[in-house]
Structures are given as structure tokens and as C-alpha cells.
Amino acid sequence: MPDQTTAGSTVVPEEAAPSDAATPSEHTGGPTAPRWTPSRVEDAPLLTGQGGFLDDLDPLPGTLTAAVVRSPHPHARITRVDLGRARRHPGVTAVIGPEEVLAALRPFPLSVSTDMPYYPTGTDKVRYVGEPVAVVVAADRYVAEDAAELVEVDYELLDPVIGIRPALAADAPLLHEAQGSNVATDRTFTFGEVDRAFAEADHVVVGEYDFPRYSGAPMECYSVIANWTEDSAGPAIEAWANFHGPFTMVPVMSGALGIPTSRVRLHVPADIGGSFGIKAGIYPYVVLMALASKHARTPVRWSEDRVEHLLASSSGADRMMRFEAAVRADGTVTALRTDLVDNVGAYMRPPEPSTLYRCYGNITGAYRIPAVQIRARAVVTNTMPTGLIRGFGGQQLYFGLERLMDDIAARTGLDVVDLRCRNLVPADAFPYETPTGGVYDSGDYQQAVDLAVRNADLPELRRRQAEARARGELYGIGIAAVVDPSGTNIGYVGLAVPPDQRKAGRDKSGSTEHVRVSVDIQGVVTVMLGSVPQGQGHASTARQLAARRLGVPEEQVRVVIDMDTATTPWTVTTGSYSSRFAPLVTSAVIEGCDRIARTIRSAGSVLLGVDPDELELAEGTVRLKSDPGRSAQFRHAAGVVHWDPGALPEGTSARLYEEAAFTPRSARTATKDEKINSSLCYGFVVELVALRIDPDTLEIRIEQVSSVHDAGTVLNQTFVDGQVYGALTQALGGAMYEEFTYSAGGQPTAATFLDYLCPTTAEAGFPLVTDHVVSPSPLTALGAKGCGEGSSMSFPVALANAVSDALAPHGLRIDSLPVHGNVLHDLLDGVRRPA
């Protein structure tokens, strides 16, 4: 088990070693200079126009371009498709539609058994605006787009279903008639004596809340190059895509194509122009373009434009939820009931319904609540299918739970901070097992709350609030305290299937990551990652860790981040999602480097004539621990392994090539009573927000944000701070600006950036103080936990709590997002209108 000093000093420079409470960073609109500014190997190519994005690559000669024909209707039966005119258009090589899709493809394998088959195009019906119907392959995009307009599709219009409540109505139109309902999955779980706790409660507090759907809005949209070939072994697919995992989607793709996974080769370029989870939804287009390539008999390229992306790529799921809490008179919460309903869009597209279950192990958040009941449902509607997004299930869960905690404080007459502190998991309770099976590995939640309150100067904020309210102004203070899971255990997906329907021997669990570390004949270290980064700095961090672990200069380490499933080490859980890098990938890097180090020490013992155990690696040398001046160059020791392996000590393999896999033993399949530790690590975030609402314009002006994170050992302060700032900005978008909206007729009303509003530096320039508490995880090699998603989970509800607090004197509240001037106008209209 790493302690703070060892875990920090082993892998980072002394000045960047973690501390219980680092000096807070204050900034307005951007980070201040960190205590330690490391080099980022990713920056130079991006800043000089040398990035290798998929549109920059031309891996296959003769590649043609595809355009996608999409449905203009939210719900309609396809009665006729005529591809003839498009096929005859000059420059067109192939056109495919529903007939070709049904002839060649199988429905994608789903996470649950349901009569809602999903193909990469509409086949019998179209179920959302933007759903693909046909693909045109031509010499260039201009020709392809022109020919796409010649595809003729006749539709029988059907009534659309927009929104969760209409989807649940008894008389709702059905998206998938064979299912007999718009409910795709419905499960209930009970842990502890829930009914007894409610019967004995002094208070029962009930809240109903709604969370919106929004996107990650990456700078680069979807992009695919696919090539279908056939040989004596049968069909094979080679594809390039800006996909980042999870690589569970590789067998999903092979299942739809009807070919073995060994015949699906996927490349991911080194540079991905952002994703935040959204590009996990690209895999249907990989399959669709592979089929287009089969018919065109040539490689096919497709690059999505922004309108296509906002219409038909992916988004986070919107959620309708009801929370009930059994509460003692002193504010102690003794039980929780939750009813969660996710809108997954037109199809239960894998990995859904994962949004419902990703936070299963931390459903009670940061609180010691001994009993809980969960009802988890997913419904389909005539909207874009959903999937991964930064926070993935966390922002939905905590919007309900943390709004509920404010409601409990109001019912019991307690301060919102005090109420939370009374229910926090205490520091001496770790490792703490939640009623649903999550095992919180480490933490000191009270210390983090105290730090956030102190950095915000809460008494001063309360004084300002009192003065503002005395003047009739709207001033609010909100807080949220959340557990931040990282290193997902994929076994949680199985919870959507009742135990009696699970196939014996087909259990799923784990969260494995692979890396490959090698040393060449000149002593250059290569670290090959399958983590598929999107700008988080994986290469720089891995380079720094490997250099320090092997005692060589950073310049002597190269990191390969291009993904090729034929050559890069990977497994089904591989990918950049669920904040996996810090806890999982770095643990595998350390293991691989340690194996290499043992071989280098053995080779060094040949050069120095001493026992390998007497040697250490430092400053580019292999040297005696007791006499550092007696040393050999690292590269010379590597040369012994390559040039003179016969000289190595007995039992030493002539191998400077190690593939390491880190598999946490705590990530197991669900138990028979349906408990599961749904993540490896659990960090902590507490955020406090103070804001004013302009009485005339109703503009929300954020005056102060205090954000404290516990992500275990801080490997790289600069990168951690960057993740915090990024998550806060994205959360600001979901809380105040970004939302996919639809007309009553099912037409998207936010399909361009004129209507789908993303925050800019102007909106994100609020005063911010960030700080850290360090509780190293005993489960990872360096004590590190994930840190990239925490604020995306906590900030939306912290802001909502602050707005509700500002409106409280008028008897108003916020139970849904986003909150902006229009929402406030509707709420305050009756209050401000003259009698």
C-alpha cells in the first residue's frame, strides 16, 4: 500500500510531490502558473500544425468519399427506397440502402435482451431525425452530396414520442412494436431494511428532478475510413476511426458484420480532436462504411459535418428521477429510494443502458446511508441514441441526490453544509462498503469539505448574501459533495439482466489495461499504450513515469499512442473512458518498467561484477546503491542483453520487451444478491458556488467557485488542474447553456451552434479557487485515482443549488436544467408582475 510520501517521491519531482492540502490556485478564466510545469510532448505538433488527425491521413490509395442520406422525419415507416437515379449519377461508384444492410448485416448485439433490433441504418422504419437511410460513395464529397439528393425514399409518417413522460404513457405510440412497450429495461434492487427505515423515519423527504441531454461538442466530428477485403479465410475489415473505446465495441462490430474479431482491424490515430465520451458512438458508422466499401470494392472515407453531429451522433442520456429519503430528526439519512428513468433515444444502442448502472456502487454518494432501493428503467423515444459522455451517469445521479440533500436540510432546519457533514462517510471508515457493493478505497471527505468552505470564505459569502437580500437582490450559495468513480468494472452492465436470465459461464467483470515497454539496442525506452487519449496528456505522463522508474532522462523515452488492434496490446476494456488512465494505465506502466528494470540490473551486474540486488537505476546509469560513483551506462547494460545474452546471470531472460497487464482483483462480477463494486477507485469532489442573478436581465453571474478534489496521488499537478478546469467548463455548458431540444413534432431545434450554445471563455471566466486533498488509493501502483470527470458531475447541481438558494425568498426552486434567463423569466414572471 503506497503512502503519500513514497507514492509521490517515487514518480514525480520533489517539488511536485503530493501534499494533504496543496496551495490553492486562484484564477479568473484560466489557470495560474502551477508549482511545476512539465514538458508536454503532445503540444509542439498541435501548435505547429503537425497533428495527425484522421482527415490528415490517407492510408489507402484509391479511397473514395461517402455521404449519408438521413431521415427528415422523427418517426415514419419506410415504404419505398429507390437508389437508381443516385447510382446513375456521374462519379458515383456505389449506393447502399436498407435492402443491402438487411442482406449483409446482423443487428448489433445488445446489452440486454429486447425486441428492439438496431442496425446502422433504418430498415423497416426511421426513428429519429438524422437516422441514416442510405450511403452514396463517389469520387469526392461534392459528387456524393449531389447524388445523395437523388435518393428517393417514401415514408408513412407516424406519431413521434418525444420525452420520457410521453414514452411511459399507456397510449404512447410504440417505436418498436414487437417490444410491446417503449420501456427497454426495468429492474428493481433492494439492499438493507428500506421499508423499516421509512416506517421509523421522523421525516420522509421526496424530490422529483429532471436532467437534460447534452453533448461533448468535440472540435473534430466523427471520421471513418473503412476497407472491406476478402481472401481464402473470408471477409476482413480494416478501418481507421477517431474512436476511443471502450473496445467492447469491437466484438459488437464483428457481431453485426458476422465475422470473427480477428478479422476486424481497427486503427485510431494519435490525435483525436476531443470526444468527452461522444465518439464511443462512432462504431455503427464503421460497420456502415465497411459495407459501403464492400459494394464500392474500394476503401471509403466519411467525415461527419457539424450539423450531422448535432443531429445524429450521440449525447448523454436525459433522466427523470424521483428520490425519497428516510430522515431522523437530527438530519441523519437512514434510507434512500430512487426511481431513475433514462431516455436512451431511439435504440438501446450499446453500451446503454450503462448510464443507469455506471454509478451503481456509489449510488449513495458520499453519505453513510445503510439501506437503499433502486428502480432503474430505460425508455426509447424518437430522439438521437445516447451513450458515453464525460461524467457518464454521475451528473444525472448527483443532480437528484444533491438537490435532495438541500431539500432535507430545508425540512430539518439545518445548514446545507452541516447536513452533509452529519452524513459523510467518516475518515476512519475506509475502506467503506456501500449497501450496493461499492468499496470506497480511501478518503477524508470532511477534510475536503472544510478546505472548500475555508477557501471560499463561507462566512463572508453569507454576509454578502444577507446584505444583498436586505436590498431585495437575488444572491445564492450552493454546495455539492460527490464521490468520483474511476476505473469502471464492466461487470455492472450485467445488472440490467435479471439473474435468472444470465447465461452460465458468461459473466463479465474487470477493468484490465495493457502496456508494452521495450528497450532497444541503444537504450531507448519505448512505451506503447492502448489508452487512446484525446488530449489528456497520456504520452507525457507515461514518459515521465517511465523515465523516473528506469532512471533515464525523459528524452530517452518515446511513447507510442497510435492504436492498431493488430499490433497494440489491448483487451475489451481498453480505451479512454471512465477516468482509467491514472489508476489503471499508470499501474501497468509501472509494472512493465519494473520488469525491464530487473533485467537491466542483471545486465549491469555483468558489467560491474556485483549482485543485481546491490544496484539501482538513476541518472541514466546502473550504479551501486552504496557507491553511486561506480556505475555503467543504462544503454551499455541494455547492450549486454542485445549483444551478449550468454553473459547474463543464470535465470535472467534476454528480454527487454515486456507486456504488462494491470487487473484489479477487486473488480469482480456481481454477486448473487446483485451487489457489485462498479469501479476500482473512488475519489471525492466538493464544490461551493456563490452567484447573483441580475434583477433586470436575469443573467446569472458567478461570483465565486471553490473546488476541492481528492484524486489520490497527484501524478502531474498541471494535468490535474487542466482536467478540473475542463470539466468545470463542460459542466457549465450542461448547467446553463447546452441542451438538445425538440419541437412537439419531433424536429430537433438545436441542430447548429446558433441554437446549441456552448460556453466560451467569456462565460467561463468566473473566479475560481481549486485545491486538493490527497488520499492515496491502496489499490493502484502509485496511489492515483481518476480526476477527469469529477467536476462534470458536481458543478451542475452545485450551481442549481445556488440558484435555488437565490430564489428561495420568493418560494421558488430549480428542479431541472439548464437554468438560464428564459427559465428564470418563466419562474419569476408571476412574482415580478404587478398585481
Give per-residue pLDDT as tens, 309-325: 999 999 999 999 999 99
Q: Residue 14's pLDDT band (boundaries 50, 70, 90)?
A: very low
User: Please, are residues 92 and 137 in contact by the beta-carbon 8 Å criterion?
Assistant: yes
> What Cα–Cα distance (Å) separates residue 778 from each residue in 327, 483, 667?
33, 17, 14
Q: Model confidence over 288-313: pLDDT tens digits?
A: 999 999 999 999 999 999 999 999 99
Mean pLDDT of 678-697: 96
Which range among 104-118, 204-218, 498-512, 578-592 shows the weakest confidence by mean pLDDT?
Answer: 498-512
Nearest to 685 by CA among 423, 485, 508, 401: 485
The answer to whether the beta carbons of residues 81 and 152 sit under 8 Å apart is yes
**What average pLDDT does range 114-120 have in this prediction?**
95
Q: What percent of the chain has pLDDT over 70?
A: 95
Q: Which amino acid is at 260?
A: P
Specify the higher pLDDT residue, 476 or 667.
476
- In this predicted structure, the answer to whether residue 715 has a pLDDT above a threshold of 80 is yes
Helices 4-11, 538-550: axis angle to 10 degrees equals 100
Q: What is the pLDDT of residues 335-351, one digit of tens each?
A: 999 999 999 999 999 99
pLDDT greater than 80 at residue 7: no
Three cell numbers written together for 252: 459488437
In the block, residue with C-alpha cell 464500392: 296
d(CA 493, CA 678): 9
Q: What is the pLDDT of residue 484?
A: 97
The pLDDT of residue 499? 87
791-820: pLDDT as tens digits? 999 999 999 999 999 999 999 999 999 999
What percentage of the chain has pLDDT greater than the value 90? 85
Residue 566 has pLDDT above 80, yes or no: yes
Residue 127 in this model has a pLDDT that exceeds 80: yes
pTM score > 0.95 for this model?
Answer: no
- Pairing, β 563-564 against β 264-268: antiparallel
pLDDT in tens, 771-784: 999 999 999 999 99
Under the banding of pLDDT at 50, 70 and 90, the label for residue 236 is: very high
C-alpha cell of residue 161: 414520442
Instruction: Decide: 355 and 386 in contact? Cβ < 8 Å.
Output: yes
Split at pLDDT 50, 70, 90, the class of 400 is very high
Check pLDDT > 70 for residue 37: no
Mean pLDDT of the chain: 92
Residue 16, pLDDT score: 35
Q: What pLDDT digit, counting tens, does each position of 573-604 carry?
A: 888 888 999 999 999 999 999 999 999 999 99
**What is the arithmetic mean of pLDDT over 531-547?**
93
Q: What is the mean pLDDT of residues 596-615?
A: 97
State residue 832's pLDDT score: 59
Neighbour tally for 597: CB within 10 Å = 20
Residue 24 has pLDDT above 70, yes or no: no
Cα–Cα distance, 376 to 492 (Å, whole number): 13
pLDDT digits (tens, 9 = 90+) for 154-197: 999 999 999 999 999 999 999 999 999 999 999 999 999 999 99
Question: Picking from 19-23, 295-299, 413-417, 435-439, which range would have the lowest pLDDT averaged per residue?
Answer: 19-23
The answer on pLDDT for 31 being more than 60 is no
Taking CA atoms, 297 is separated from 62, 230, 374, 452, 454, in Å, by 10, 10, 51, 60, 66
Average pLDDT over residues 101-110: 95
Identify the pLDDT of residue 364.
98
Asked whether the predicted pLDDT for residue 95 surpasses 80, the reply is yes
Residue 572: band (very low, low, confident or very high) from pLDDT cuts 50, 70, 90: confident
The residue length of the chain stands at: 835
Say how far apart CA 511 and CA 509 lie, in whole Å: 7
CB-based contact 65:302 (threshold 8 Å): yes
